[in-house]
Structure 1
Amino acid sequence: MFVVYFLENKNILLSQLRKSVPSVGEELKIKGRKGKVSSVTSIDDRNIHVQVVLETVNKNTLIVDNSKKKKR
């Protein structure tokens, strides 16, 4: 069993107790966000740090529907 810390820019996203260690290039889904493993660093025999690059989410896709407004 390994303690795996998933990190993004020195911020801990998730820590898990896992039977296997993720490999470099593996695709993950953490907290509903898709990401890829960029590097795996073994701290000691049980602790492992995994650097993750998450996809950016664009929330500014606001669509305005003017067809329901009254024309004056």
Structure 2
Amino acid sequence: MFAVHFFEKKNLLLSQLLKRVPSVGEDLKIKGRKGKVSGVNNIDEKIFHVQVILENVNKSKLIVDNSKKKKK
């Protein structure tokens, strides 16, 4: 088992115990966001830091139609 820490730039996203360390270029899904492994650093025998590039999420706001609401 390996302790794998997933980072986006310098922000820690996730720490997991895994049987297999992800390789460079592998597609991942962390916290519901798609990403790709850009680098793997071996810190210790069982500790790995994985650099991840996440896709941008477009948050579109819904337009609320207030004309149907009851006016007071």
* TM-score using structure 2 length: 0.83
Paired with 2:17 and 2:47, the residues of 1 have a C-alpha distance of: 10
What secondary structure is seen at the aligned counterpart in 2 of 1:34?
Answer: strand
- Counterpart of 1:60? 60
After superposition, the CA RMSD in angstroms is: 1.6
**Residue type at the aligned position of 2:57:** V
Cα shift at 1:62 = 4.7
Report the 3-state secondary structure (helix = DSSP H, G, I; strand = E; otherwise coil) of the residue aligned with 2:37: strand
Identity %: 70
- Which protein is richer in helix relative to its size? 2
Task: Name the amino acid aligned to 1:29.
Answer: K
Question: Matches of 2:63 and 2:56 in 1, distance apart?
Answer: 20
Once residues 4 and 53 of structure 1 are traced to their aligned partners in structure 2, the CA distance between those partners, rounded to angstroms, is: 16
Q: Shift of residue 15 of structure 1?
A: 0.2
Q: Which residue of the partner structure matches residue 36 of structure 1?
A: 36
Unaligned 5+ segments in structure 1 are none
Q: Using the alignment, how far apart are the partners of 1:51 and 1:20 within structure 2?
A: 16
How far apart are 1:58 and its partner, in Å?
Answer: 1.1
Query: Would you say how many aligned residue pairs link Structure 1 and Structure 2?
Result: 67
* Structure 1 runs of 4+ with >3 Å offset: 60-65
> What whole-Å deviation, never above 9, does each CA across 1:26-68 have from its counterpart, x for those lacking one?
0000000000000000001011000000000111365688xx9
